[in-house]
Amino acid sequence: MSLKSVYEKLEHIANLSSTLDKREYLKTALQDKLFLKTVQYALDPTKKYHIKRFPKEPQMFILKDHLKGPSNLFSYLDTLSNQRGASNIDKDFLYQLASIDKETYEVVKRICKGDLRCGVGVRILNQVRPNTIPFTPYLRCSTRRHINNIVYPAIVQEKANGMYAEMRIDNGKITFGTRDSKKIKKLKHLKEVFWNCSASEHEEFNNIVLMGELRVYDKHGNVLDRQTGNGIINQCIQGTVNKKKAKRVFFTMWDAVPLEDYLNEKCSIPYYSRFNTVEMFCKSCACDYYFQPIRNMIVHSEKDAQYYANDIIELGGEGAVLKNVRATWKHGTSLEQIKLKALYEAELRILSWDYGDKGKKHETVMGRITVGTDCGGLVCSIGGGFSDELRADNWDNNIGRICEIEYQDVSESKSRKDGVKSLYGPPVFVCFRDDKDKPDTLEDILNR
């Protein structure tokens, strides 16, 4: 049995010109269990198959009958998703399973790349069939170009240097998740702090989503740098972290939204009230070692806000976020929350890597990587920010991963004449972003 019928449906959707027509067709298509399963495996952000590159043509092997069915194909995709990477043997076996026919091969490629290539994404699918794909509403900050939207007095807060996370309390059940809907495991110590304090007895702290960043202490109680700390949090996501490291993870919060509003992707409660909920939650937990509100201050001018941001930057922090005290919450980009920082950050896909220059220190390990947007409008080379241990990694396994980089500005690529943009600063590697499947777009970067 092949996935040819799924391929035909995807091609039909791709040829529909309007979003309305695509939605109408999906109402019927999603009743097909095989089609539904395919789109779930392709777009579920919690599934990663660690295979982005496929041979151009199907591998025409003779497979035994028990290996030909889609159930076996999806079972093997589950196996890959539960692994930390894919060996060449793993890849070859998937190529064989997918090579039933050209249509099945193409569909499996799309699944592994997380792109159905038909103009349909998570939002449309969930509108047609609710909860088809895990989705996390997320409010993004704007850049300084929108700073005139700020009304003073305003609140300025430290931009925490960790990994964004949400603590969802749903009828007493606590879960931690990433921006990309992945569950963060091994945080039992944080749940126990809540269960053992007075906060758990307050109805206002039930059915709520608390938003902030997870960070990690070192053995002496100092906050680890972002790359090291996020490495430990990624181990929590994968479930491989040891107990001692897990217990050094703490949660710094800056927002709290009722669960019902969160699920509806908008909340009209003004920010000063939502942040007051954060402060009351932390006070009730009575454990500022593990639960703490973000460092903040009321300011009366842009100048005061920038002084605050500069102080944080001088101490090694990222900068600050300036917010209107009456700002509401929604999924998307807020024009009432402004980043104040010296360096910009971008999340880009790793496209390739090269050894270091011959005769130099890194000639036998990774010397630089090439990263870019999926549209191809921005490509740049990154040579700094890597530890010696990271350079010695098998970088073939990192192709296709999303990484965060820091840079100062966007420029025309000096090595190309086709209008492709690049970054300078020089750009440096910060960390992998395994909580993300999609890189920033060129438009995202230019609007910062």
DSSP labels for 142-162?
E-GGGGGG--SSEEEEE---S
Amino acid letter for position 199:
A
**pLDDT of 416:** 67
By CB atoms closer than 10 A (0-12, 13-18, 19+), residue 207 is middle
CA–CA dist 47, 156 (Å, integer): 36
DSSP state for residue 420 in the 8-state scheme: -
What digits encode the pLDDT tens for the residues 38-93? 999 999 988 989 998 898 888 665 555 555 556 689 999 999 998 878 999 999 89
Q: Distance between CA 433 and CA 448 in Å, rounded?
A: 19
The pLDDT of residue 364 is 95
What pLDDT was estimated at residue 426? 76
Question: What pLDDT score does 71 carry?
Answer: 66
Q: Is 136 in contact with 38 (CB distance < 8 Å)?
A: no
- The string of DSSP letters for 329-383 reads EESEEEEEEEEEESSEEEEEEEEEEEEPPTTSTTTTSEEEEEEE-TTSSBEEEE-
How many Cα atoms within 13 Å fall on the side-chain side of residue 168? 17
* Residue 412: per-residue pLDDT: 78
Residue 406 contacts residue 396 (beta carbons within 8 Å): no
What are the two backbone dihedrals, phi and then psi, of residue 229, each rounded to the nearest 5 degrees? -65, -45
Measured CA to CA, the distance from residue 111 to residue 77 in angstroms comes to: 9
Yes or no: say if 97 and 74 are a contact pair by the CB < 8 Å rule. no
Q: Count Cα neighbours of 440 within 13 Å in the Cβ-side half-sphere.
A: 20
Q: What is the dihedral of CA 238, 243, 247, 251, to 10 degrees?
A: 10
Q: Which residues contact 274 (CB under 8 A, 6 or more apart)?
A: 255, 256, 257, 267, 329
Instruction: Report whether the peptide linkage leading into residue 426 is cis, meaning its omega lies within 30 degrees of zero.
Output: yes
pLDDT of 57: 82
Task: Using the structure block, give the residue that is written with the tokens 């999924």.
Answer: 331
Distances (CA, A) of 194 to 61, 197, 199, 200, 249: 56, 5, 6, 6, 15
* Cβ atoms of residues 179 and 136 within 8 Å: yes
Inter-helix orientation angle 19-29/4-15, to 10°: 160
Measure the CA angle with vertex 398, ends 251 and 371; round to 5°: 90
**Ranges of the chain whose pLDDT falls below 70:** 1, 59-71, 199-200, 342-343, 414-417, 425
Check residue 64 and give its pLDDT: 56
pTM: 0.71
pLDDT at 204: 77
Reported as type and span, the H/E element at residue 258 is: strand 249-258
Q: What is the pLDDT of residue 425?
A: 65
C-alpha to C-alpha distance for 402 and 436, rounded to whole angstroms: 7
Distance CA 228, CA 211 (A): 21
Could you give the domains of the chain? 4-128 (no CATH), 139-341 (3.30.470.30), 344-446 (2.40.50.140)
Q: Which helix (H) or strand (E) holds 238?
A: helix 226-238
Residues in the chain, how many? 448
Those residues with Cβ within 8 angstroms of residue 285's Cβ, 6 or more apart along the chain or in another chain? 193, 194, 197, 199, 291
What is the per-residue pLDDT for 341?
77
The C-alpha atoms of residue 37 and residue 116 are separated, in whole angstroms, by 13
H helix runs in 82-163, sequence order: 88-98, 102-113, 122-128
> What's residue 417's pLDDT?
65
Q: Which residue's structure tokens are 């409010």?
A: 139
